[in-house]
Chain A
């Protein structure tokens, strides 16, 4: 399956759904957007890989259940991340072990981050230690704020959602979504030491 530009993928997915070829549509969706969905879930769920896998699986299950009703009113990416957003928040809300999970996986997060080869150009400004702090602070944010921040800045540059798309997912105005983004960034930054420090 040839997958290139997001717009082309969206068109192919919509055509497959309109033609009733749901199996092909699912293949296209997983090929083009599984990384995005998993990455989002991974980051929102505090870098918990098993949970992120489960929730990503649930996201695509929801997609399969509602695939015949998709009419292309929003982009495929917005559609998927809207489902992922709700699934992640549901997962967080229903998980009573949230606090203990944070403490349990902090060390793993640090290990994982330090295991990556250092990026020389970035290390000068944003040290690995600072990134660990950022990940920890992100984990302590309100789940909805975290979700918004990740949808906007944390799913890979190619897949980042616009504020308008986030507003569409949350069912609020663009101005309200932008205000919430600013507030979430402010909260996150208050938890962090200076980048240069």
Chain B
């Protein structure tokens, strides 16, 4: 009996309820009913489902409210975030820095005067051009003809464009180079080029 505290029946109704329960006890199901029901039911039952269809039916039957998908998606992203190893941020930054041209490396020097903006050796192709032009103008009596100078400059440009110097110069060395350049009234790049050439022809060079 299902008792419900919220339900209340008066005395007369309780008699009727008791009478209904007694009447229910007197009912006997005909013994031939169950075989008939099973026989008829078998003809009407849907065919046995394949496992794949069955699973799809179960999945399709689970249709929660669209709002319920929010936590599911969030949980999926959370699990994916934990399980997948992402590249380290520092590594990414390193890759970016290594791909940059060497020019900013020289510009990052702390003692670099803003008005001078010396060009680094690695990007000295334009400077070299300019320098060669200036040198030709300064020394018009040069035994070398202009075309030869240009060819030489072109060679230097080609070779210098292949030489990428990415090392950062120490501040003290850079200051010394600047002083030397001022004293000799040439650019820092010219001094660097001379130094590199001298090193290249040095017998003590270490390759």
Contacts and interface: CB of A to CB of B under 8 A. Distances in A.
Contacts of B53: 20
A120 to B, nearest CB: 13
Contact of A38 (B2, B6, B29, B49): B29
B17 A64 contact: no
A64 B33 contact: no
Interface stretch (B7-15, B119-127, B155-163): B7-15
A153 B20 contact: yes
A192 B25 CA distance: 20
Contact of B37 (A57, A126, A161): A57
A163 B4 contact: yes
B21 interface: yes
Interface in A97-148: 112-113, 116, 119, 122, 125-126, 130-131, 134-135, 138
B20 A113 contact: no
A35 B29 contact: yes
Contacts of B21: 153-154, 156-157
Contact of B23 (A154, A189, A192): A154
Contact of B46 (A67, A113, A126): A67
A183 to B, nearest CB: 11
A34 B29 contact: yes
Interface residues of B, number: 42
Most buried by B among A56, A135, A189: A189
Contacts of A38: 27, 29-30, 33
Q: Which of under 10, 10 to 19, 20 to 34, or 35 or more describes the interface residues of A?
A: 35 or more
A195 interface: yes
A5 B116 CA distance: 95
Contacts of B30: 38, 49, 53
A46 to B, nearest CB: 12
Contacts of B19: 126, 130-131, 134, 195
B18 to A, nearest CB: 6
B23 A135 contact: yes
B79 interface: no
B41 A156 contact: no
Given A26-B38, A39-B27, A20 B48 contact: yes
Contacts of A31: 34
Contact of B40 (A43, A49, A60, A153): A60
Contacts of B66: none
Contacts of B50: 20
Contact of A156 (B24, B36, B58): B24
A184 B50 CA distance: 48
A36 to B, nearest CB: 9
B2 to A, nearest CB: 5
Nearest to A162: B2
A48 interface: no
A150 interface: yes
A186 B38 CA distance: 40
A20 B49 contact: yes
Contacts of A19: 54
A64 B24 contact: no
